[in-house]
Structure 1
């Protein structure tokens, strides 16, 4: 049944949060350290364990897969929001560093896209061709 997949995800999430809090306490940090990652690793391990023993039913598999695919983007969005809030509180240096890193990445992408690209007789970049032979 699908509900068992959701229950397995819930157990793994609670265990991961607990272990992340425990790890944070042991490291002297007042935060959850890696709880989401631990939860996902527990979910993967539990799913593999059930599959090896032949107890991973179709409904259980569907429940785990559905919520696992929903869980990761939601958690990433929540973490990104926290990072933005923290960055805005950090002052202008954090924003300058973020903008600088973005500009460097864009420049590197432009540079790397030109390396190895063929040029015509005038020294201009030759148009790219797609698989069908048409110009891009």
Structure 2
């Protein structure tokens, strides 16, 4: 997490004369460093029951979160930019959106994704 935070906190590398350096930085991150971090994360082992449950929960909701957060993200950005709001004015909404998106993703997982997958598995993967 710390490595990702550091890599993503670099706003721009280079200057007007050497703007291509920023492209090199972005390419190295996207082609080499981020896949390496994913590999390291996927290679990790969980040993206790609690950690396994947490990892399973976040793994299960990862795709639903990816899907549901986009409309809320753009609505939030539009609201902040159109009203020239500061973080101090919107932090409560940020927390509501953060936890609300996790809850909505979980509901989508349990009420839509898993039932559809079960139905499709029975329909197309069952032996006749």
Q: TM-score, normalised by structure 2?
A: 0.35
More helix by share: 2
In our comparison, the structure showing a higher alpha carbon Rg is 1
